[in-house]
Amino acid sequence: MNEAVVADTTRARKAWAVLATVLDPEVPALSLRDLGIVREVVDGGETLEVVLTPTYSGCPATEVISQSVIDAIDGAGLGPVRITMQRAPAWTTDWISDDGRRKLRDYGIAPPGPVMPGQGVPIRLVGRRAAVAVACPRCGSDQTEQLSAYGSTACKSLYRCVACREPFEHFKPI
């Protein structure tokens, strides 16, 4: 392979724009860029390399995400493309864009707050009342309770708003 060309080529910029349209298969309100799992796009001359960091190492959607990226890049005429999985540093919910957090809220999922040093743990069992209030994405109330540590996927937990009584999922901060 040729030495990598500067990552900010026209082709790489076009690829970034295309990746903003590729939706996450588990949370289709967010693009892969919104989610922060696209780490880098490198124009290597002949091949375009897209570097992805999965939300967690056992993410069952990793293969679907990789294929979606390949299909989108090839469909835009920017290929061939190679996917590289970069697992370190590990993905963190801090990588979700501000627009992505808004989209989560609009979709009915409470976005994660920032991960504070020493406080972020990937999976933790807690009582019904969370140590940190999770605002309801529907009415905005902080009077919420956790119903289950796990929602529809391992990266989300199930909550209920005490004020409006509506259930919602919370994207866990990790």
**Segment 9-67, tens digit of pLDDT:** 799 999 999 999 999 998 999 999 999 999 999 998 899 999 999 988 778 889 999 99
- Strand, coil or helix: 170: strand
Same domain, 14 and 77: yes
Collect all residues with Cβ–Cβ distance below 8 Å to 78 and sequence separation of at least 6.
Answer: 11, 14, 15, 18, 48
Asked if the model's pLDDT at residue 1 lies above 70, the reply is no
Burial of 100 (0-12, 13-18, 19+ CB in 10 A): buried
CA distance linking residue 21 with residue 8, whole number of Å: 19
> The domain that contains 18 carries what CATH number?
3.30.300.130
Predicted pLDDT of residue 151: 81
| pLDDT tens per residue, range 101-118 | 999 999 999 998 776 665
Which residues span the domain enclosing 165? 109-171
CA separation for the pair 57, 11 (Å, rounded): 29
119: confidence class by pLDDT, cuts 50, 70, 90: low
CB 151 within 8 A of CB 170: yes
Domain shared by 81 and 114, yes or no? no
Domain count, the chain: 2
| pLDDT range class, residue 137, cuts 50, 70, 90 | very high
Cis peptide leading into residue 80 (ω within 30°):
yes
Q: Residue 94 has what DSSP assignment?
A: G
- Provide the mean pLDDT of the chain: 85
Matching residue, tokens 């929602």: 151
The dihedrals phi and psi of 129, each to the nearest 5 degrees, come to -90, 120
User: In the listed set 27, 51, 85, which residue is the last one of a domain according to the structure?
Assistant: 85
- pLDDT category, 6, cuts 50, 70, 90? very low
Task: Kindly state whether residues 81 and 122 are assigned to the same domain.
Answer: no
Cβ neighbours of residue 164 closer than 8 Å, sequence gap 6 or more: 136, 138, 139, 141
Q: Is there a single domain that holds both residue 117 and residue 52?
A: no
Determine if the pTM surpasses 0.85: no
Q: What is the pLDDT of residues 66-93, one digit of tens each?
A: 999 999 999 999 989 999 999 889 898 8
Q: Is residue 72 part of a domain?
A: yes
